[in-house]
Structure 1
Amino acid sequence: MNDSKMKISMVLLCVASFNVDAALSSVDNGLGVYASGMDATWTSDANLLGTLEANAIASGDAGAGNLISAIIDASGGVIHDTPNPYDNGTYALSVSDFFTGGTFVQGRTTWWGAQAFVNYLNSIEYGNSNQWALPTSNAVADYDNGSQLGALFYDELGGTADNNIPINSLFSNQITDQYWSGTEYALNPVFAWKFNNSNGYQNVSGKDALFYVWAVRPSAVPLPSALWMFGTGILALVGLKRSVQAG
């Protein structure tokens, strides 16, 4: 192998090493965490809805109500789903999707409320993105890594069945409780799939249950500027050497 080819190979090796080693990395000025194995970005706050609700409450008596109204309005007041005994395919959102027994439950919402929340994130382009969604499920009732939440739990974070989700410093507010997926239960769309972060188990629940929301979007992480500059510099040196030799 000549000297030029060796240098190019070194650059490619550095790039490949980065992709393998950095399974999780902070993006979007800290608002997101990129998971390379899934090629997807999660909100860095694993209970972002709860955080926004807490901030709204702290801002004044009407703060929480204003936030919920904004979330509902971002979906035009309705969520479209498969017709079921709850609705005919058009579900009318209300504050009850975020409250229970008159109590504001920070971060927990119905399946429809979870859908409304990701629509709200898209409306405000949270993290400079309008592609936020609820994670998808592979519709398997098991300790399984085939869903997006399962892949995050087992593959990206190294979780094990019957144990809490591993804590990672790139994330905040990781709740050891149940999170909604966006996937309906095909046999009976009264239900939707959920994932339990306290044990790594996936199954279904009625859409009116109150669970947490962790939004995700498809994405590719940009090559770090330092590594890009390093690679560009090496290639420039190779080109310069060739020019000198040609001269």
Structure 2
Amino acid sequence: MLLKLKTRSRIYVAASLFLASFSAKAELSSYNLNGVDLVYSSVSNVTWTKDGNLLGSMIANRGFQTVVGEIIAASPTIKNIPNGYGSYSNFDDDIARSVYIVTEQDFSEVDGSSSWWGAMAFANYLNSIRYGGSHHWQLPTLATNSSASGLGSNDQVSGDEFVELFYHELNAELYSNIPNTLMFDNEVTGVYWSGTEEIDPEEPFSIYKAHAFLTSYGFQISTFKNYANHAWVVTPGQISAVPEPKSLAMLLAGLVLLGISMGWNKQSQRA
């Protein structure tokens, strides 16, 4: 009886270590939910859309007027800190300058880029249709420390989704382009918006700006909100753990070991 218990314990431990070693090595993992391709980041604990230019792909597939019309209908206005693009007739009115009206001019039909407000509205639109089963889509946030607030590199700032993806998971180097991998589609070598607005009392133009990430150098930058940049959104955690074939095979292997152990347990009880 003691020998059987030791054998079962070893199997449990082996199965647990096997599955744990697989989980520990995973950083980016692809999964599909209801026909939507997604990528989970275990480093940042967020899910990215597999398509790095999802807005551009939607416009190409369904038409500019249709997609942009749906985005504006779902998110006609964007609330932000009082900004210089608000009501010029009431420039001293913080309430008026904190609400921006989204229009077609905030989107580009050519490449799927948008203003900062257009990018924010796009995230809201994905929430309205529960894209991939989530209603928590948002633009990634960026750290605004001294090394990130200008044109300098922020290297590897903890808790920063774009930086963690660029440096930690895609293993890109400073001053290099974002790697073109099979994990993602349509990665843009250029500028991606973040959801982080610039707040700098000593910088008079900060009321016009938001932070962004430059994937051709690995920099955080601050740029004017009415510029045309791209949107790549994230949602917290993993929406649904749907493993790929290799992952599923590993999981099943562990479960088989556990099943064998349970079978032995029943046989020992009968004995």
User: How far is 1:120 from its partner?
Assistant: 1.0
Cα deviation digits, residues 26-84 of structure 1 (max 9, x gap): 1124521112222211111101111111223xxxxxx3122211111111x10011112
2:231 alignment partner, SS class: coil
Distance (whole Å) between structure 1 residues aligned to residue 48 and residue 156 of structure 2: 16
**Partner in structure 1 of residue 83 of structure 2:** 84
**Partner in structure 2 of residue 161 of structure 1:** 174
Aligned-partner residue type, residue 2 of structure 1: K
Residue 24 of structure 1 pairs with residue 24 of structure 2: no
2:268 alignment partner, SS class: helix
TM-score (norm 2): 0.81
Cα deviation digits, residues 134-159 of structure 1 (max 9, x gap): 00111131233322111110011001
Residue 113 of structure 1 pairs with residue 122 of structure 2: no
Where has structure 1 moved over 4 Å in runs of 4 or more? none
Distance (whole Å) between structure 1 residues aligned to residue 231 and residue 242 of structure 2: 29
**Partner in structure 2 of residue 136 of structure 1:** 141
User: How far is 1:2 from its partner?
Assistant: 2.1
Structure 2 portions without partners, runs of 5+? 87-96, 201-205
**Partner in structure 1 of residue 263 of structure 2:** 240
Q: Is the 8 A contact 1:98 1:105 kept in 2?
A: no
**Partner in structure 2 of residue 60 of structure 1:** none
Distance (whole Å) between structure 2 residues aligned to residue 172 and residue 182 of structure 1: 22
Could you tell me the percent identity over the aligned residues? 36
Aligned-partner residue type, residue 240 of structure 1: G
**Partner in structure 2 of residue 207 of structure 1:** 225
Distance (whole Å) between structure 2 residues aligned to residue 16 and residue 30 of structure 1: 27
**CA RMSD across the alignment:** 1.9
Q: Is the 8 A contact 2:194 2:213 kept in 1?
A: yes
**Partner in structure 2 of residue 218 of structure 1:** 236
Distance (whole Å) between structure 1 residues aligned to residue 263 and residue 67 of structure 2: 58
Aligned-partner residue type, residue 139 of structure 2: L
Number of aligned residue pairs: give it. 236
Moved more, 155-164 or 227-236: 227-236
2:66 alignment partner, SS class: helix
**Partner in structure 1 of residue 107 of structure 2:** 98
Distance (whole Å) between structure 1 residues aligned to residue 177 and residue 12 of structure 2: 44
Moved more, 78-87 or 149-158: 78-87
Q: Highest Rg: 1 or 2?
A: 2
Structure 1 portions without partners, runs of 5+? 57-62
Distance (whole Å) between structure 1 residues aligned to residue 107 and residue 265 of structure 2: 66
Distance (whole Å) between structure 1 residues aligned to residue 10 and residue 241 of structure 2: 25
Q: Is the 8 A contact 2:31 2:242 kept in 1?
A: no
1:118 alignment partner, SS class: helix
Distance (whole Å) between structure 1 residues aligned to residue 162 and residue 52 of structure 2: 11
Aligned-partner residue type, residue 12 of structure 2: I
User: How far is 1:223 from its partner?
Assistant: 6.9
Q: Is the 8 A contact 2:38 2:49 kept in 1?
A: yes
Distance (whole Å) between structure 1 residues aligned to residue 253 and residue 207 of structure 2: 52
Distance (whole Å) between structure 1 residues aligned to residue 198 and residue 155 of structure 2: 16
Distance (whole Å) between structure 2 residues aligned to residue 30 and residue 67 of structure 1: 17
2:23 alignment partner, SS class: helix
Aligned-partner residue type, residue 175 of structure 1: V
